[in-house]
Amino acid sequence: MIPFSTLFFLLFLTSAAAAAAAAPGGFGNHTFEFDFPSLSIRNLTLLGDSYLRNGAVGLTRDVTVPTSSSGTVVYNEPIPFSDPESAPPSAASFSTRFTFSIGNVNPSSFGDGLAFFLSRDNDTLGSAGGYLGLVNATQLTKNKFVAVEFDTRVDPHFADPSENHVGLDIDSLISVETADPLSQGIDLKSGEQITAWVDYDHVAEILDVFLSFSISPKPETPLLSVDDVDLSEYLRGNVYVGFSGSTEGSTELHSIHSWSFNLTGEGALLIPRSTNPPHNVSDNSITIPSPEIPSSDSGNKNHKKLGLGLGIAGPSFFCACLVVFGFISVKKWQKTKGAEKAEQLVAAGRPKEFNYRELKSATRGFHSSRIIGKGAFGNVYKAFFVSTGTIAAVKRSKHAHEEGKTEFLAELTIIAGLRHKNLVQLLGWCVEKGELLLVYELMPHGSLDKALHHDGGGGGVLLSWEQRRNVAVGLASALTYLHQECEQQVIHRDIKSSNVMLDANFSSRLGDFGLARLMDHDKSPVSTLTAGTMGYLAPEYLHYGKATEKTDVFSYGVVLLELACGRRPIEREAESQRMVNLVDWVWGLYGEGKVLEAADERLKGEFEVEDVRKMLMIGLSCANPDSGERPTMRRVLQMLNGEVEVKAVAKSKPTLTFSCGLSLSLEDITSDCE
């Protein structure tokens, strides 16, 4: 309990602060600010391809096939930077801090970048590609803006210095000045969360840009500093602030994770008293002080103001205390219950709770040279434990926020209770220093994806037909266990070759349960946001967003075709440069009576013809657009082992028809993507 005297003192301070803010020259008269540790649709306007997911804004499409995209997010309310009637025109100083990431499922497919901008329009949405979503390709001078760009592709039209640069843009994408983040050890395309600070001093006419990884403090030296930059003509009257991003024939993904903004100077004094801040979620805050016109009277009127302030602030502060106390209590209870649940779930398998210092030492401080894999939710590091002489793999969550914690708990609670020879074994976990870490047994031969598609880059081993068949059987056995033999059915939702690991004997081990969902066997699937990787996703999952065991079967069928053909699910043809879907390609050869031509040429015919035909037919059967025609994983395992006949497959691929009357084939869903 808070002592009454302490409460009274706090109330007094609150009232005094309110009085100071209202007084002439008080601190409240000169600032406008907002602070969003996570982003909410209530505060923002989304344009183009931008979207909100788990407190972060994605500016471009989240796909795994190359595409062209542009999106914008704008703070809802205009900010009065200056009095447009003043002569000469005046401007306010501002500073903003935001955390962003630029990731990519395909590192060789990069571009184009994102930008923080200030504009007089709240409908800024430009073209894709090098235009960064800021300007229209056919009307380069239409949009008026000041922007700081974080560019990841060289565009000769705009005199870009490199594919990794930061620049100040004023009414043009030809930057006034640029800087190289690599000079401070920062790769914009690393996929890591990066924090940027943009500070503009209108008196000194200096704009500074600072950059660091999100776990580091603000650097002392700016990456980019531009002198003699007078923005008063560009920042007159009401100005909107926001972000834009774009891609062109790329899978690059641009995300904004947090954002704060502060305006100081004359412009802040123009915020009208009637301005109502947008409603915010609990962890967002906005401060909009309202100036008061001072009264010439004193004495009684001042006492009345103080009394009124106490009368209003007292109950408000008391309610705020109750809300804060309740929030902290609920959080503590949730944390305790979450810890208890994790302990109960892992008790049976007894995976170890590691010390953060131990894992940091084993991975040499999570050094980049120790990275052996990258996924949607973070990197995987090779760890060597000196004390025991053992080697393991440590999966480190990229984002230590609610989404990361959700995926982390999903993987921990699900895989801790599973036991099968074809599943990657969980050795332990760690939740310390704001980090989310999982420790797995190390798979000596890496992922199936790397083994199949090393493209002669050295170090790769060409899998023999017998090894490929064993991989197919092992993966089918693991999925049969997950779907039909667990106490609760597990839908993996992300079956793909990069999630299939190879042990010392080249046997398959299914891993990465970050997207998996537990389900009672007699329950219907719950509709969720579509998750997974393009090329492996079943058509009905893309359309309805419902994950079932049959969506896993479809993904398994694609992996089976990968094994037989040695081709990726979606590949670019060398001659035509068009994107070709593996399922369509194999089904086309099968319809022409030439299905054996789909076999991996690198095997040079060293396989049993009927064995290859069987695997191709089972793969097509699993990848049938009609989910009702797909076999169960138990049936697949029986077909692979020769216990039952292989299911007949239609010569032409069925067309998928949804209840809304929309007819779609897989080619329609993933076609061209130029």
CATH class of segment(s) 34-291: mainly beta
Q: Per-domain residue ranges for the chain?
A: 34-291, 352-441, 448-670
What b-and-e string marks burial along 464-488, b requiring 16 or more CB atoms within 10 Å of the CB?
ebebbbbbbbbbbbbbbbbbeebee
Distances (CA, A) of 383 to 107, 210, 365, 429, 648: 24, 33, 10, 13, 47
DSSP state of 497: G
Q: Between the CA of residue 439 and those of 189, 237, 393, 416, what are the distances in Å? A: 26, 55, 6, 11
Task: Return d(Cα 234, Cα 347) in angstroms, integer.
Answer: 62
Alpha-carbon distance of 576 to 670, in angstroms, equals: 16
CA-to-CA separations, 522 to 282, 319, 482, 488, 546, in angstroms, rounded: 37, 46, 15, 10, 16
Give the span between the Cα atoms of 233 and 88, in whole angstroms. Answer: 10
Model-level pTM? 0.50
Q: What region does 275 belong to: left with phi over 0, alpha with psi -120 to 50, or beta?
A: beta
- Residue ranges for the binding site? 395
What is the DSSP track for 413-457? HHHTT---TTBPPEEEEEEETTEEEEEEE--TT-BHHHHH--TT-
Q: Which CATH number fits domain 352-441: 3.10.310.10, 3.50.50.60, 3.30.200.20, 3.30.70.260?
A: 3.30.200.20
DSSP assignment of 372-406? EEEETTEEEEEEEETTTTEEEEEEEES--SHHHHH
The size of the chain, in residues, is 674
* Whole-number pLDDT of residue 633: 95
Q: What confidence score (pLDDT) does residue 506 get? A: 92
Structure tokens at 597: 């031509």
pLDDT at residue 406 in the model: 65
Bind-site residues for ATP: 395
Would you call the peptide bond into 512 cis, given omega within 30 degrees of 0 as the criterion?
A: no
Which amino acid, 53?
Answer: R
> Which option is the CATH number for 448-670: 3.30.2350.10, 3.40.190.80, 1.10.510.10, 3.40.50.2020?
1.10.510.10
d(C-alpha 288, C-alpha 280), whole Å: 14
Query: Closest Cα partner for 259 from 64, 507, 74, 487?
Result: 74
Cα 79 to the center of its chain, rounded Å? 29
Per-run averaged pLDDT (10 residues), the chain, 674 residues: 45 43 39 86 83 88 80 88 61 90 82 91 73 74 82 87 93 92 92 94 93 88 93 83 90 93 64 39 42 43 50 59 60 48 46 89 91 79 88 79 61 77 89 85 90 62 92 96 86 90 92 66 42 77 80 96 94 78 94 95 92 96 93 95 92 70 40 32
Q: Is 345 helix (H, G, I), strand (E, B) or coil?
A: helix
Q: How far apart, in whole angstroms, are the C-alpha atoms of residue 349 and residue 413? A: 11
The span from the CA of 627 to the CA of 619, in Å, is 14
The reported pLDDT for the residue numbered 425 is 86
Catalytic residue annotation: 494
